[in-house]
Amino acid sequence: MAPFLQELVVSPVTILVLVLSYIAYWRSKHRLLLPVDWPLVGLLPSLVANLRNLHDYVTAVLAASGQSFAANAPAATNMRLFITCDPDNVRHIFTANHENYPKGHEFAEIFDVMAGSFFTMDGEPSRRPRAEQSILGDPRVVASMVSSCHDKVRGGLVPLLASMASRRTPVEVQDLATRLMFDVTAMAVFGVDPGCLSPDMPSMRVSAGMDTIMEVGLFRHTVPACWKAMRRLKVGPERKLAAAHAVLHGFVTEMMEKAKKYRHGHGDDEAEEKRAAAAPPPSAVDILSSYINDPDYNADGHLLRTMLITYMVAGPDTVGTTLSWFFYNLAMNPHVVSAIRHELAPIASRNKAAATSTAATTNGDHHTAVMFSPEDTKPLVYLQAALFETLRLYPPGPIERKTVVADDVMPRGHEVRAGDAVLISLYAMGRMEALWGKDWREYRPERWLTVSVSGDGGGRKKQLRYVPSHKFLAFNSGPRMCHGKHIAVAQMKTVAAAVVWNFDVEVVGGQAVEPKLSCLLQMKNGLVVKVKRRAV
């Protein structure tokens, strides 16, 4: 059971929840999957009893109940829950009747550190989400973000992996991917490289703070009757969350100051100046520059910081988390590695003569890596299929929450009332046999591909199969489609191509690889691997 549950305030209601949770746990052990909708406490005991494997439990319940079920939240919340992974319901919620299903006030409260940003505001009439769309749709911003990722992979990630391979040092993939994408995102947001991927590996208190937001976010989703009281009392996970908020706001303020100083040509000290000189130059089209002249944000320093925090949470979380599961899946499926390398081979052959010489000179050794530009990786359909297959099984955001504005009827006949909370399980959607076939457990990129035959020469060409977004919700759907999708895909392909072509990755045995209890589907214990350089 999650440690934070031990910190709940003892009360008669708490005792009742614990007793019923034990009963719910016993029922799940005896394969009585459908949860009991208890008086007063609703679905809460079943969720608490299955917190350790919550996403798999919800998946099993949805599979047993026709992909949707309704239940009550604790009576104190006066709220009902509708939980689904049915694509027809998803299309209704996200597209056909999307204005009736905003994220809502409760969602904004759960993620209060980002309240007022595009992360919490969908469905509300505001020009701010349109400003975000304009920024991420600016070709200069997109090019800058993709280019900075390529530069960081070439000058930071590949040399670091080569050095660790030479020293036979185990690599913790999740931490490394988080550090990489933290630097890449900070460069895109502030135009400044914080240097978290450097060999000395500075403290990542900010990243830990982001993890806390997502972990406590799931707690707030699960126990709506308790967390607000705990916030008022400043106890349990709410106390930890308050400290995380302070760290994030402090980091954003510090980075804004550094960005301002770098733009004027000087750093804080000699070490900062050296790091700035070694890093790519500050971008003239970073996200901070795009917001700084907007009167809506400039007039309210808090709102600007909130927006910058949102970008910092969204970037490293989505891409970094997906890359961790991607390399885990590749290590478990060497035939997929071979297929990706086969697709990369013609490009690698072309690029080899002009390959970047990387600075892995440990013990007098020298390693030349073959690099792949964003333009190189853009047409690679098998690589993209492998990434999408990872997103199917391990979506970085495993749940979506919406609020019902007006009474409605779902396509399958389920009735929802105004004020109900709707939870969409992306994790379960990717694991439904009815949607993906009997082989849904298999990591099989081929399910994303189709073969077309050209009319003139009869040549056969692989291309990505169309899968509607209401069936594959990793990048959202309908009017809420993620504006940064193409940036995220380009960044993931850039990192994946460089690592897969230049290194062999082997998972160290004896590890328990399972999801963390969080709104972000990170690995609970990380992933330790051995890295070996390839002769390419």
pLDDT in tens, 366-395: 457 899 999 999 999 999 999 999 999 999
Q: From CA 460, how far away is CA 207, in angstroms rounded? A: 46
Out of 88-92, 125-129, 204-208, give the one with best mean pLDDT. Answer: 88-92
The answer to whether 519 is a known ligand-binding residue is: no
Domain ranges for the chain: 50-533
Q: From CA 61, how far away is CA 32, in angstroms rounded? A: 9
Q: Quickly list DSSP for 371-395.
A: ---HHHHTT-HHHHHHHHHHHHHS-
Rounded to an integer, the average pLDDT of 477-481 is 87
Question: Does residue 82 surpass a pLDDT of 80?
Answer: yes
**Helix, strand or coil, per DSSP, at residue 515:** strand
pLDDT for the residue numbered 10: 42
Q: From CA 494, how far away is CA 177, in angstroms rounded? A: 13
Question: Does residue 436 surpass a pLDDT of 70?
Answer: yes
Q: Among candidates 304, 101, 55, 82, which has minimal Cα distance to 190?
A: 304
Q: Quickly list DSSP for 9-73.
A: PP-HHHHHHHHHHHHHHHHHHTT--SPP-BTTTBTHHHHHHTGGGHHHHHHHHHHHTTTEEEEEP
pLDDT for the residue numbered 150: 94
Question: Does residue 23 surpass a pLDDT of 60?
Answer: no
Summarize pLDDT for 455-467 with one digit per residue, the tens. Answer: 566 667 889 999 9
Summarize pLDDT for 84-125 with one digit per residue, the tens. Answer: 999 999 999 999 999 999 998 889 889 999 988 878 876 544
Q: Look-up: residue for tokens 């478990």?
A: 332
Least confident of 32-41, 163-172, 237-246, 438-447: 32-41
Q: What percent of the chain has pLDDT over 70?
A: 77
Summarize pLDDT for 500-528 with one digit per residue, the tens. Answer: 999 999 999 999 999 998 999 999 999 99
State pTM to two decimals.
0.86
How high does pLDDT run on average in the chain?
82
pLDDT for the residue numbered 213: 92
Summarize pLDDT for 492-502 with one digit per residue, the tens. Answer: 999 999 999 99
Q: Look-up: residue for tokens 């409760």?
A: 106
Asked if CATH classification 1.10.630.10 holds for the domain at 50-533, the reply, yes or no, is yes
Q: Pick the more confident residue, 492 or 268.
A: 492
Question: Does residue 9 surpass a pLDDT of 60?
Answer: no
pLDDT for the residue numbered 28: 52
Rounded to an integer, the average pLDDT of 230-238 is 87
pLDDT for the residue numbered 74: 64
Written as six digits, the tokens of 229 are 């009281």
Q: What percent of the chain has pLDDT over 90?
A: 49
The amino acid occupying position 103 is: K
pLDDT for the residue numbered 532: 95
pLDDT for the residue numbered 202: 56
Written as six digits, the tokens of 140 are 């200069």
Out of 41-45, 65-69, 215-219, 266-270, give the one with best mean pLDDT. Answer: 65-69
